[in-house]
């Protein structure tokens, strides 16, 4: 037998918690000294303690935990429950990170409304180009809807390059076109690359028109690129120009960490 203090250290819980578990009949000591009240446990009781703590961490009430462990929950059952909870927590973290990125992007937009040192918008004329790639439909122009669509296209494109031994000769260009034939908010998402010669088996060829564009450099994750688009669109409106229906992203620098990405964002406009 070991003391309550040693058992608490082995189980990585507090003595106070063990006393509480004893008081509600969830984890009773092997022996309690009738004179001193000292509690003593066996190492084998760690198995029950581990199950209690794991189930509690799943968000269950202690009375629910007791009902489960008293029913002799098997190790495989517990592992399945923990894996499910692990997946739920990971999903919640991803959602919270996305919401945080959106809040930060909105905050930057509000700050830029009064910031005279906001990033510079450049205008230039771009030549028409012929790229190869794929396209898919997104339900709206928000990064939340476009992100999963465009991320699904690039693995298919790289697989086609690998199968044909074709190598891109420049940075990827993504462009977006309204799809009113689908719905009011829908857009066609195109992921493309320039190649020395085409066509490429498994990929489509796209003629990307030239013209006058307003351009800004976006640094960082695609989660916050909406703010760059809003700044560009606001600039076009303030100049009295009209948007011409198409936007492009040229991925100048890419790495495993999107925080290091450098992207040129272009929107077509007419004077």
- Consecutive H or E run containing 63: helix 62-70
| Cα 13 to Cα 16, 43, 77, 118, 222, distances in angstroms | 8, 14, 23, 52, 42
**CB 52, CB 27: distance < 8 Å:** yes
H-assigned helices in 113-178: 143-164
In the DSSP assignment, the letter for residue 174 is: E
- CA–CA distance, 200 with 133 (Å, rounded to integer): 9
Return the CA Rg of the chain: 29
Per-residue pLDDT, 102? 66
CATH topology of domain 2-73: Multidrug-efflux Transporter Regulator; Chain: A; Domain 2 (1.10.1660)
- CA–CA distance, 263 with 248 (Å, rounded to integer): 10
For the whole model, what pTM was predicted? 0.57
Question: What is the block-wise mean pLDDT of the chain (271 residues), using blocks of 10 residues?
Answer: 90 92 93 91 91 85 84 75 82 78 66 58 90 94 85 94 88 90 90 88 92 90 82 88 86 85 91 87
Q: Could you confirm whether domain 122-270 is CATH 3.40.50.11540?
A: no
3-state secondary structure of 248: strand
Per-residue pLDDT, 224? 79
Per-residue pLDDT, 97? 76
Between helix 62-70 and helix 46-57 the angle, nearest 10°, is 140
Q: What is the CB neighbour count within 10 angstroms for residue 197?
A: 8
- CA–CA distance, 37 with 217 (Å, rounded to integer): 71
CB-based burial, 91-126: b 16+ in 10 Å, e otherwise: eeeeeeeeeebbeebeebbeebeeeeeebebeeeeb
The domain segmentation of the chain, as residue ranges, is 2-73, 122-270
């Amino acid at each position: 037998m070991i003391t309550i203090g040693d058992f608490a250290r082995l189980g990585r819980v507090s003595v106070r918690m063990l006393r509480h578990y004893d008081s509600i009949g969830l984890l009773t000591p092997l022996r309690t000294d009738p004179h001193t009240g000292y509690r003593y446990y066996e190492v084998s009781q760690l198995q029950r303690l581990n199950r209690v703590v794991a189930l509690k961490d799943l968000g269950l009430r202690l009375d629910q935990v007791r009902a489960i462990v008293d029913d002799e929950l098997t190790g495989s059952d517990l592992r399945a429950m923990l894996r499910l909870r692990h997946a739920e927590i990971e999903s919640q973290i991803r959602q919270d990170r996305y919401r945080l990125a959106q809040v930060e992007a909105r905050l930057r937009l509000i700050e830029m409304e009064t910031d005279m040192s906001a990033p510079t918008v450049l205008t230039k004329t771009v030549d028409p180009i012929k790229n190869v790639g794929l396209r898919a439909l997104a339900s709206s122009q928000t990064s939340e809807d476009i992100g999963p669509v465009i991320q699904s296209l690039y693995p298919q494109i790289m697989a086609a390059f690998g199968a044909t031994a074709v190598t891109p000769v420049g940075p990827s260009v993504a462009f977006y076109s309204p799809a009113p034939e689908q719905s009011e908010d829908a857009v066609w998402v195109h992921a493309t690359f320039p190649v020395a010669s085409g066509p490429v088996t498994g990929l489509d060829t796209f003629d990307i028109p030239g013209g006058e564009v307003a351009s800004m450099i976006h640094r960082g994750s695609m989660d916050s690129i909406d703010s760059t688009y809003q700044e560009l669109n606001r600039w076009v409106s303030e100049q009295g120009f009209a948007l011409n229906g198409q936007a492009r992203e040229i991925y100048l620098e890419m790495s495993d960490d999107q925080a290091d990405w450098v992207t040129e964002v272009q929107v077509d406009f007419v004077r």
